[in-house]
Every structure is written in structure tokens, then in C-alpha cells.
Structure 1
Amino acid sequence: MAASSRSAREAKRRIQQMEAKRELRRDQESRRKRDNLIAAGAGAAAVVLAVVLQLTAFSGNPTEDEFAAAEAGLTSPSASASPTSSAPPSNAANIPAADTAAGKVFTGDLVLNKGALGVELDGTKAPQAAAVFRSLSEEGYFAGKTCHRLTTGESFGVLQCGSADGNGSGNPDYTWGPLENVPADNMYPAGTIAVARTGNNAYGNGTQFFIVYKDTVIPADSAGGYTVVGKVTSGLDVVSAVAAGGITPVNSDTDGAPVEPVTIDSFSLK
């Protein structure tokens, strides 16, 4: 009887051990599946996060073409970042008449603190622009003004000058138009001198201009392109040297103020 009781207890113990082992295996399997789900979830979250970061980085650092396209609207060479209407301004009395430059070519020197450039303004192709810049140069407006903006993109290289306050702001009392001699293909060859303006405004030209130091594509905005008023005839390497000095980033790693400040000593035309 005693032996039978011991055998029964031993059998029960073995059964309990087997059940305990099965329970342990079930727990382990359950934990393994749960851990796999957590890992998969973490992996999916990491992928989502990576995509979000990639999209964020992409939206914050677009390609050169996308950056140029975005700049064409508000931040391409312009006198102001605030688009206005394209109606003719009411300040015509402040603007020299186009016929004072029509059919004429003006030559002279744009002297920067980094070196001198020979320049030519074409009053045949852009009479209003040539009249404005000849008048401003005769008044001595440009002396001491800065070249506040430099772009160094692969196909977007300009130095922009002539802001009233040296930081890119325009003079609301000195705006004019219309657009003249605008490239049909949005290509501004190296050496081009073009007029900066308010985005989306054909009458948003002012006192600012930009010098193209390498072939540059600037997509037109809703108003069109940018008035080409003339060209650099000598000394373009001065601007290229400024570009080689680098920028202090503002909008991107290819657009900002020159690391070495650039000022205009004089701008003379005859």
C-alpha cells in the first residue's frame, strides 16, 4: 500500500513537472512573440522617423533647382521679399525717363573694395534700366553701399549689391518698371548685370542689381524674369574671388552674405 502511494505521488510529481515545463515554454514563446512585435514596432517607428527626418531635411535643404525655383518667387535677386502688385508705381516723378538712355551705350567702372570691374550698360535693349542706373551713379548713390548677398550654387552664382540699408531692403519710394531685355530661356550668362526686384512684380525694380559670375539659371516668377541692363567687360574674376571666399549662410549653404564684406567704392558711367 505504501509503495503504491509513493508511486502515485511520484507520478503526480512528474506530471506537475511536465506541466511546469510546458507552461514555461508557453511563457517563453509568448515573450518571444511579444518581443518580436515590439522590435518590429520599433523598427517601423524608426523607418517612419527616418522618412520624416528625410522629408524634413529635404524640405529644409532642397536641391539646387528646387531652391532656385523657390527663390524665383520671393528670394531670387530681389529688392524685397514681399510681393506686391504689378501695377505701375505712382512715383514716376522720382524715376528718370527712359528716353534719356534710349539708343545709348554707357561704359564705366564699378570699383569694389576687392577690385575694379569694367561695365557696359545697354540703353538700346533696356532704356529704362540704363536711365535709372546712370542717374544713380551720377548722384553718387552707390558709393559706400554693400554687396550684401552671394550665391554659390552649382548653376546659381550671383553677387547682389545696392541695397539702401545694406541688408537687402529696398526703397519703397523708388520703384519702377517695366521689365526689359528678359532672357527667354531663364539663362543669365556669366558677366550679366541684371536688376533685382520684388518678387512677382514687374514694377518692383529699385536700386539693387546683381552681377552673374558664372552661368546661372533663374526661373521666371509670375511677373517674368529679370531685366538685363548690361554686362561686365573686365574684372569678373574679382567677383569670382569673392565667391571663392565663401558665404555666411542665411537661406542655405549656398546663399548668404560674403564672408569677406564687399562694399562699393564708386560706380561711374559715361
Structure 2
Amino acid sequence: MPTNEQRRAAAKRKLERQLTNRAERARRRKQLTIAGSVLGVVVAVAAATGVYFLTKGEDKKDDTAAPEASLTAAAPPAAEPKADLVNCTYSDSQKPADKPVTKPVKTEVPTTGANARISMSMETSAGPIGLTLNNAESPCTVNSFVSLADQKYFDGTSCHRMTTGEGLKVLQCGDPTGTGMGGPGYQFANEYPTDQYAAGDPSSQQAVAYKRGVLAMANAGPGTNGSQFFIVYGDSELPPQYTIFGSVDENTMATLDKIAAGGSDDANGPGDGRPKTAVEIQSVMLDN
């Protein structure tokens, strides 16, 4: 049985870890601070071409373009600290899996201490991309991404979409069909920053800034996250309806810059299509 002195030392260490994690979360929130701008034109182009912007394409298409948002949209509230354990729910989607895979086995996800941040390496045909996943803010998303990577779901898939328009610079990946319509056969709810807004809050529909280096989930509406994700290679504007679950390591942003420099084939309209520099994901693995 531990002595009183040992218990006090353990409690002190736990408090120090908590303070360190809070400081790190505050730093990350500052980096991912969101400020408003415009989305409507891009959504209108996507609707006209029958392609969903940043979606899995599993839900009914909305032919109404989003209204232009205020240029002075407020930043979202700061993320509340998650509990030490978060219960995650993964439900079957209407569309079956496009590549054999199972739902995450683990549904209780720890979010503090050594579990707050997770490092992964994504090897692609265009070069390496290092990822740091923010488990403290989006644990269920990170849990799913790691599960898919462990099952080699992403291996051999291509990044099927790149946008190059003003205010919208993203590379979209994670679809085994390469069409923008594929997924893992299950879905789950949005997390940060969507979960910082009350239901029905109109500011949750105003475009805000997704900064260069952000790693976020694509979806086809609330609660439809699956396997498709996007990487922001240049500061972009979107409503805070796309879960931010990590960032690209700065020392590998050159890979994204090389892909971006090749441009898009504009197959979906001006500034929206497949990257001219082919990007095949060869592997996604946890760093030791």
C-alpha cells in the first residue's frame, strides 16, 4: 500500500501533467483560432457540378448554395477540457464500407496525459507528411482515424480532390474509391470546433478560418464523419462544421507545397478537381 508521502507525490505529478496539458491546449487553440469569411461561391460550384465540397457524398445533395458569411464572424468559444475518458459512438451509415474494415473496437478514449496528442507518419507518393493528432479536443475522431490506419484502410488510396480557389486551399483524401463518394460503412458526430456552439446558434454557420496545416474531417452534413479528411495547405474559410483533429508537422509542409504547386485539373470546375501531382497514400502509421 502506498505511503502518504507517495500518494502526495503522485497527486503532485498528476497536477503538473494537467497544468501542462491545459497550457498546451491553450497554445493549440490559439494556433487554430478561427476568423470569418466566405464559402457560398465554392459551394455553388460544387452543387452545380454534382460534387460535394468536403463530403463523403453519401447524403442527399443540397442544391442551395450557402449564404455569404459576415467578414467579421466571431471566433468560436474556447474548447472545454474533455473528461479523462470519453465514450464514443460509431453507427452504421446507409452506404456499406467501400473497403473491408471494422468499426473502432475501443469506444472509451482517454484524453489526458500521454494520450492528449498522438504522432503519426503518412507516407505518400509525393513525399512524407507528419501528423500530430489532437486527442484532447477531438478524441472520437482521432480514435477512428487511428483505427482505420491500423487496419491499413488508407494504404493504396489516393487523394482525390484539391481546391485552389481564393480562400479555399485544401487537399482531400481518405476515400478508397477515389471518387469522393466512398467511406468505411460507419459514421460519427462532429467534435471541435462544432461542439463549441449551441444547437441552432447562427454563428455556427458563418465561415471561419481554417489555418494552414490544419487536419480536419470531410462530411456530408452533421454526424456523417467517416474516413474522408482534408489537409489545409493555405489559409481557408469554412463554417465550423468540419472537425479539426490535428495538424501537419511543419517540417513536412513542403510535401503539401509541392502538391499544391502542381495545381488542380479543374475537373469539378475552376479551382476544384484532382491534383495534377498524383498523391497515393502508401501507409499511415503511429510513430514509436
Equivalences for residues 139-178 of structure 1 within 5 A:
139-171=151-183, 173-178=185-190
Determine if the alignment matches structure 1 residue 257 to structure 2 residue 266: no
Secondary structure at the counterpart of residue 121 of structure 1: strand
Change (3 A) 1:77 1:142: same
- Structure 1 letter corresponding to 2:212: A
Structure with the higher helix share, 1 or 2: 1
2:40 is aligned with 1:66 = yes
Residue of structure 2 in register with 1:18 after alignment = none
1:195 match: 217
Deviation at 1:67, TM superposition (A): 2.1
Q: TM-score, normalised by structure 2?
A: 0.62
Deviation at 1:161, TM superposition (A): 0.4
CA distance in 2, matches of 1:68, 1:153: 8
Structure label with greater radius of gyration: 1
Unaligned runs of 5+ in 1: 1-63
Q: CA, structure 1 residues 204+119, in 2 after alignment: closer, same or farther (shift >3 Å)?
A: same
Distance, in Å, in 1 between the alignment partners of 2:169 and 2:267 is: 15
Corresponding residue of 1:134: 146
User: Could you list the per-position Cα deviations for residues 138-163 of structure 1 after superposition, in whole angstroms to 9, with x for gaps in the alignment?
Assistant: 11111111000000012110000010
Structure 2 residue aligned with 1:244: 261
Deviates more, 1:173-182 or 1:203-212: 173-182
In structure 1, the partner of 2:246 is 230
Describe how 1:1-270 pairs up with structure 2 within 5 A: 65-70=39-44, 75-80=52-57, 82-83=59-60, 90-91=91-92, 94-103=103-112, 104=115, 105-171=117-183, 173-182=185-194, 186-198=208-220, 201-219=221-239, 225-233=241-249, 234-270=251-287
What is the TM-score with the length of structure 1 in the denominator?
A: 0.66
The code of the aligned residue for 2:142 comes to A
Q: Given that residues 101 and 128 in structure 1 are in contact (C-alpha distance below 8 angstroms), is that contact kept between their aligned partners in structure 2?
A: no
Percent of aligned pairs sharing the same letter: 30
1:43-72 deviations in whole A, cap 9, x for unaligned? Answer: xxxxxxxxxxxxxxxxxxxxx853235379
In structure 2, list runs of 5 or more residues that go unmatched: 1-37, 62-88, 94-101, 197-203
Residue identity matched to 2:218: A
Hey, what does 1:41 align to over in structure 2?
A: none
> Could you say which residue in structure 1 is the equivalent of 2:84?
none
**RMSD over aligned Cα, in angstroms?**
2.6
CA offsets 1:210-243 (integer angstroms, 9 cap, x no match): 00001000135xxxx1000100013112112111
Do the aligned residues in 2 keep the contact of 1:144 with 1:265 (CA within 8 Å)? Answer: yes
Contact 1:96/1:131, CA 8 A, preserved across alignment: no
* CA positional deviation for 1:100: 2.8
For this pair of structures, how many residues does the alignment match? 198
Deviation track 1:192-225 (CA, whole Å, cap 9, x = no partner) reads 0001111xx22110111100001000135xxxx1
Q: Which stretch of the first structure deviates more once superposed, 73-82 or 131-140?
A: 73-82
Task: Kindly state the Cα deviation for residue 98 of structure 1 after the two structures are TM-superposed.
Answer: 4.8
- Give secondary structure in 1 for the equivalent of 2:56: coil
> How far apart, in 2, do the equivalents of 1:81 and 1:91 lie?
12
Pick which of 144-153 and 89-98 moved more.
89-98
Aligned counterpart, 1:43: none
CA distance in 2, matches of 1:231, 1:67: 26
